[in-house]
Amino acid sequence: MNLDTDFPETRFQPGAELFIERGGVVSPLRVTTVRFHRDRPVIGIDGLTTMTEAEALAGCELRVPADRLAPLPAGTFYHHDLVGCRVETSDGRTIGMVSAVEGTMAGSRLVIDGARGEILIPLASDICPTIDVERKLIVVDPPEGLLDLNVGSARRRTPPSSMKGPLRPASVGPVEDAGGSASTGPGSMTFDIVTIFPAMIEQPLAAGILGRAIERGTLDVKVRDLRDFTTDRHRVVDDVPYGGGPGMVLKPEPIFRALDAIEAERGRPLSVILTSPQGTRLTQAVAQRLSGAEHLVLLCGRYEGFDDRVRDRVTEELSIGDYVLTGGELPALVILDAVARYVPGVVGDEQSVSEDSFSRGLLDFPQFTRPAEIADLRVPEVLLSGNHAQIRRWRKREALTRTLERRPDLLAGASLDEEEEEILRELKRLRPERGAEG
């Protein structure tokens, strides 16, 4: 969502009702989940589960009825309050009447019906020093020539005010706007992956959820063959270690040259992630944090190692766990996968991103699908009961039981609701804590 409200926390909280207009029909939408990505809300909408359905809403505005607008502090106002205000200059000349306010939080303009045509004036405090909503009067102090510049400029516009009925943009303040419009927007994320085995990255990325996100352009992944940044005839990327010993070490020059080339191409300083067993551990929180970047370089290490001076160019060193691998390609894919899930539009079902087990801090409850019985194994009766309150409680209990048994360490960081706290207390009473042997 592109924000156009000063109350994103309330407007987009789970359960909130918003209204959308499509083809002249206004219909309600229910928010099911919300998380913030780069300061913009990514919301789940009740009954909407596929990317195709979500994309059909691109470009639409979400609004609230005028009678549900939040009360404003004194001296502030909604944009629609300005419609009908008389506009005059500080020396008393009448310019016209506000017919609309257009734009978004990024910048808005008064549309004024003047004697000689339509005039646009930026809604900014230095140009509009007095806005008196009570007296329906706006005094403007336009820079030299602004009024003449606009007059008579024929232009087409598709005003948001075309929405019928009681719906109004929930806009506030002299400069700020409000409401919220759905669009795919600038949500995408770019990765450069530097490797000596490009196929190891390219093949897995051609399939699955990430593959589709790349096809759609929601994700942009460029795989860079380190050998392309060598200068010798044999495209050598490694060399023997100084001081002797077994194995080969990745040479620094091709890596430096690759990073220089990427930086020149991207036109800004790089965030370089190095995959190595010496890095800090990748966690869900790390993945979520990294998803806030617009661009990341993943540098694939190699198990024999690389010249340590490469670390001079590295922003962050990450390990995916304590085991020996042949190279950093699989870890780079793991990092990419975990980070990309948070990029709006990559995972079709927003609910599964907001509610995945590690985000909640608990292991998942067991899932079942048809048939109800196979080889004498029956689906738990409660799931067939249709009693949703009971099903919800059963799932919480199962998730907590599993977490307590398999990953008790997770419980310390879990955010539990009251019902879950109660179930957990009961479970601990039933199966008292085992010591170090547990």
Candidates 72, 97, 286, 325; binder of ligand J9Q (CB under 6 A) is: 325
Choosing from 46, 141, 304, 398, which is the catalytic residue?
Answer: 304
Of the candidates 237, 238, 214, which has an alpha carbon nearest to the alpha carbon of residue 226?
A: 237
341 part of the active site: yes
The CA distance from 237 to 250, in Å, is 6
Q: Which stretch binds ligand J9Q (CB under 6 A): 227-235, 243-251, 259-267, 319-327?
A: 319-327
Q: Which is nearer to ligand J9Q, 187 or 328 (CB)?
A: 328
- Distance from first CA to last CA of the chain, Å, rounded? 47
The yes or no reply on residue 100 touching ligand J9Q (CB under 6 A) is: no
Near ligand J9Q in 149-168, by CB under 6 A = none
Least separation in angstroms between residue 325's CB and ligand J9Q is 4
The yes or no reply on residue 324 touching ligand J9Q (CB under 6 A) is: yes
The yes or no reply on residue 107 touching ligand J9Q (CB under 6 A) is: no
Judged by CB under 6 A, how many residues of this single chain contact ligand J9Q?
14
Burial 167-185 (b: 16+ CB within 10 A, else e): bbbbbbbbebbbbbbbebe
The yes or no reply on residue 179 touching ligand J9Q (CB under 6 A) is: no
Largest CA distance in the chain: 89
Say if CB 402 and CB 420 are below 8 A apart.
Answer: no
Q: Which is nearer to ligand J9Q, 80 or 302 (CB)?
A: 302
39 part of the active site: no
Candidates 103, 331, 345, 348; binder of ligand J9Q (CB under 6 A) is: 331
Q: Which is nearer to ligand J9Q, 225 or 350 (CB)?
A: 225
Say if CB 223 and CB 195 are below 8 A apart.
Answer: yes
156 part of the active site: no
Instruction: Please tell me whether the peptide bond between 371 and the residue prior to it is cis, using omega within 30 degrees of 0.
Output: yes
The CA distance from 307 to 278, in Å, is 14
The yes or no reply on residue 327 touching ligand J9Q (CB under 6 A) is: yes
The yes or no reply on residue 344 touching ligand J9Q (CB under 6 A) is: no
Choosing from 102, 313, 341, 350, which is the catalytic residue?
Answer: 341
Q: For residue 110, list its beta bridge partners.
A: 101, 121
Q: Which is nearer to ligand J9Q, 303 or 368 (CB)?
A: 303
Least separation in angstroms between residue 305's CB and ligand J9Q is 8
Candidates 117, 321, 380, 408; binder of ligand J9Q (CB under 6 A) is: 321
277 part of the active site: yes
Q: Which long-range contacts (CB under 8 A, 24 or more apart) does 50-53 make?
A: 50/348, 50/349, 51/212, 51/216, 51/345, 51/348
Least separation in angstroms between residue 192's CB and ligand J9Q is 17
Choosing from 53, 356, 419, 422, which is the catalytic residue?
Answer: 356
Q: Which is nearer to ligand J9Q, 143 or 321 (CB)?
A: 321
Q: Which is nearer to ligand J9Q, 209 or 334 (CB)?
A: 334
The CA distance from 280 to 320, in Å, is 8
Least separation in angstroms between residue 274's CB and ligand J9Q is 8
Pairing of β 316-319 and β 272-281? parallel
The yes or no reply on residue 328 touching ligand J9Q (CB under 6 A) is: yes
Which residues, other chains included, contact 45 with Cβ-Cβ below 8 Å and sequence gap of 6+? 29, 30, 31, 32, 54, 57, 350
The yes or no reply on residue 197 touching ligand J9Q (CB under 6 A) is: no
Q: Which stretch binds ligand J9Q (CB under 6 A): 313-321, 379-387, 392-400, 412-420?
A: 313-321
Which residues, other chains included, contact 178 with Cβ-Cβ below 8 Å and sequence gap of 6+? 4, 5, 6, 7, 78, 79, 105, 169, 170, 171, 172
**Residue 8: its H or E element:** helix 8-11
Candidates 205, 314, 320, 346; binder of ligand J9Q (CB under 6 A) is: 320
Pairing of β 189-195 and β 295-300? parallel
Near ligand J9Q in 246-305, by CB under 6 A = 275-277, 301-303
> Which residues bind to ligand J9Q, rule: CB under 6 A?
275-277, 301-303, 319-321, 324-325, 327-328, 331
Residues involved in catalysis: 277, 304, 341, 356
